[in-house]
Structure 1
């Protein structure tokens, strides 16, 4: 009699488990960033959030929270809701300036960052200087725009003796504007600030700034420590804010009005700004 070739149940289970196909792990990065091909293959009107944060910082944040809680995804979803158009969230290590300079892109919004990617900024200088697409940069995004026009980016100053540090884990020893703080509008009413008072309360989170605006730009807002809190190109729809209008909340809604105003100026707003 031939020996049975049947495996005992326990061994059979181990064999099936070992040989079963393993589901591919979902990369949290892809859960929050659109693929560049999505931009390249679309002819429909859309807006883009260009994220310039260092990938290591983003992956560290995604390791601690669900993708839908990531601040960049909240930024994208808010812009999409305010624009009434699809909003692609793209990382600047995966696209070039030329990729973004498309006729169906109605506006580009550049994020902030806490850490730079060496050698990457210059890829976007030509886009910033030459595109006709309306553009606005926040915090590090404003600094990137300034750098495209040869502006200096520097620390605000050192902390003075006995001065409290609002975030000792970020550039300890440097003065920071941190939290929801007042910012003064310093010029005749620019449409970016329509429906807002002469002093606004917006989210700040920075230790560096552009101390002097490039010659091509007009200064729109300031604080005592930061003389260039917002600027605008004199001939193009190109803005920067050192503060974070995208980081508004129910108690501090004025950033939302600024976003709505910019999208309206870009021809991409779904509703008029709500005066508050």
Structure 2
């Protein structure tokens, strides 16, 4: 099974977020093949990666308002051309929602950030209880769902959040500070999480593992010989 992590940072040298995701995926599936690439390479068609079984859209440290105007249309086209499962984590979840027609806002409900930095905008951080919404799950996701029904803490770190989802996405998780903690596509094997399921497993955030296990189960279901493999 081969998974590619897309680094959405404007500076491709900023890899800490993607590195953390890679470490978590490797811990859950020691035999997985992992690759990380900057989105600029993917956008330019400069990557030689092939036979990818799943894509991760990683976090980013710069407001999307600072990206060039072509970024969102490119990501929308790339997503729609992708035929394998996708998960967006933190900024990756926001980027995919934007690309599909959603809208962002600051976590205090004010307008989305338009500058190059978040400045002194409020931040949601630490461990926050995520309430899954299993009744909202699309049919394709139900057989792979691994998330317990009760709210459980996961690591958070964001200054913006999804204010409105496009019609093709449905909210499948929420918290007190963040109304859309997770979404899934109604028909395609994509979902996104605002929180960081890869972080703080030893410090109270171990519930994030179940969200990653769910996505890995989705990926494995489409890979010959991988379904049900630990």
Identify the TM-score tier after normalising by the shorter chain.
0.7 to 0.9
- CA spacing shift, 1:255–1:110, aligned 2, 3 Å: same
- The DSSP-based 3-state class of the residue aligned with 2:74 is helix
Render the CA deviation track for 1:69-100: whole Å, top value 9, x for unaligned: x4432322322343422110111122228678
Distance in 2 between residues matched to 1:91 and 1:57, nearest whole Å: 9
Give unpaired runs (5+ residues) of structure 1. Answer: 1-44, 63-69, 160-168
Distance in 2 between residues matched to 1:201 and 1:114, nearest whole Å: 23
Q: How does 1:1-276 map to 2 (within 5 A)?
A: 45-55=1-11, 58=14, 70-83=16-29, 84-96=31-43, 104-115=51-62, 116=64, 117-119=67-69, 120-157=71-108, 171-172=119-120, 174-188=121-135, 190=137, 191=142, 193-251=145-203, 252-267=205-220, 271-272=229-230
Kindly name which structure, 1 or 2, has the bigger radius of gyration based on alpha carbons: 1
Distance in 2 between residues matched to 1:245 and 1:100, nearest whole Å: 27
Distance in 2 between residues matched to 1:101 and 1:182, nearest whole Å: 40
Distance in 2 between residues matched to 1:141 and 1:49, nearest whole Å: 10
Task: Identify which of structures 1 and 2 has the higher relative contact order when contacts are C-alpha pairs closer than 8 Å and 6+ apart.
Answer: 2
Distance in 1 between residues matched to 2:45 and 2:147, nearest whole Å: 35
Distance in 2 between residues matched to 1:133 and 1:156, nearest whole Å: 31
Bigger strand share: 2
- CA spacing shift, 1:124–1:240, aligned 2, 3 Å: same
- CA spacing shift, 1:230–1:221, aligned 2, 3 Å: same
Distance in 2 between residues matched to 1:55 and 1:255, nearest whole Å: 27
- CA spacing shift, 1:122–1:180, aligned 2, 3 Å: same
Give unpaired runs (5+ residues) of structure 2. Answer: 111-116
Is the Cα–Cα contact under 8 Å of residues 41 and 47 in structure 2 kept in the other structure?
no
Render the CA deviation track for 1:216-257: whole Å, top value 9, x for unaligned: 011101123321111000001110111111223213211122
- The DSSP-based 3-state class of the residue aligned with 2:209 is helix
Is the Cα–Cα contact under 8 Å of residues 12 and 38 in structure 2 kept in the other structure?
no
TM-score under structure 1 length normalisation: 0.66
Distance in 2 between residues matched to 1:101 and 1:211, nearest whole Å: 36
Distance in 2 between residues matched to 1:134 and 1:195, nearest whole Å: 18
Is the Cα–Cα contact under 8 Å of residues 136 and 170 in structure 2 kept in the other structure?
no
Distance in 2 between residues matched to 1:103 and 1:239, nearest whole Å: 22
1:271 Cα offset (Å) = 4.7
